[in-house]
Amino acid sequence: MSNNPDRDGELYVIAAPSGAGKTSLINSALEEFPSLAFSVSDTTRAARRGEVDGVHYHFIEPATFTERVAQGRYLEHAEVFGHGYGTDRARVRQLWGKGCDVLLEIDVQGAAQVRQSHPQACLIFILPPSLEALRARLVARGTDQPDVIARRLGEARHEISACLEFDWILVNDQFNHARQQLMSILRAWPLRRERQKIVQRSRLADLLSS
């Protein structure tokens, strides 16, 4: 992970079907890397029990969301299950300005938009071990009615079909194993050649001129 204020930080995108366990993996990554910051998205849906405005999401009115989309304020935005979600590009810039790398938890629609505007972003997709396991996790959560679970499973198939467009694919079968894989990606990504060409420009010039 990097903390160089002379350049934009890394941009990480994590997407997964609902119930695949991405939130636990994200929280683990935030604990592991102090320089990694989570960008809190806007949403038009109502807060669920235990959710805090400004921590889990910025809860806004649909009219406000529509206005912000029209103003081009969002780095990415999407409609999921009838609710709007968006990443405010100013918040990402603010975190980069503090020397942070930024992590987004968004869906495949948003990830495609990020890929288009920020091709240097690291896109990570988390797969469940099976649809049966995913169904069991959604039922065990106890937060959704059967019709909502069925809809989420249908959406999961759509999202999984897009996973090959991501840079990395993890299977969250055993949490500790998936966690180790995610940490390895976050450590390795800043060392890729294209980033090092920028970060090490001065060092390479000195070494090559010696």
- Whether residue 83 is contained in a domain is answered as no
Distances from the Cα of 65 to the Cαs of 53, 54, 57, in angstroms?
A: 15, 15, 13
Range of the domain at 159: 11-39+101-209
75's enclosing H/E stretch is strand 74-80
Residue 43 DSSP class: E
Dihedral sign, Cα of residue 120, residue 121, residue 126, residue 127: negative
Number of domains in the chain: 1
Please report the pLDDT score of residue 4 as a whole number.
42
Tell me, yes or no, whether 158 lies in a domain: yes
Report CA-CA distances (Å) from 36 to 3, 31, 75, 210.
Answer: 9, 9, 18, 36
Q: Which of 41, 115, 119 is nearest to 85 (CA)?
A: 41
DSSP 162-205: TGGGSSEEEE-SSHHHHHHHHHHHHHHGGGSHHHHHHHTHHHHH
pLDDT attached to residue 146: 86
Residue 142: which region, alpha, beta or left (left: phi > 0; alpha: psi -120 to 50)? left
CATH number at residue 23: 3.40.50.300
For residue 53, the 8-state DSSP code is B
Residue 172 lies in a domain: yes
* Residue 60 included in any domain: no
Is pTM beyond 0.85? Reply is yes
- Whether 96 is covered by a domain: the verdict is no
Residue 33 DSSP SS3? coil
pLDDT tens, per residue, the chain with 210 residues: 444 434 689 999 999 998 899 999 999 999 999 999 999 999 999 998 889 999 999 999 999 999 999 999 999 999 988 899 999 999 999 999 999 999 999 999 999 999 999 999 999 999 999 999 999 988 888 777 888 889 889 889 999 999 999 999 999 999 999 999 999 999 999 999 999 998 899 999 999 986
Is residue 95 situated within a structural domain? Answer: no
**Residue 93 within any structural domain of the chain:** no
- Assess if residue 155 is contained within a domain: yes
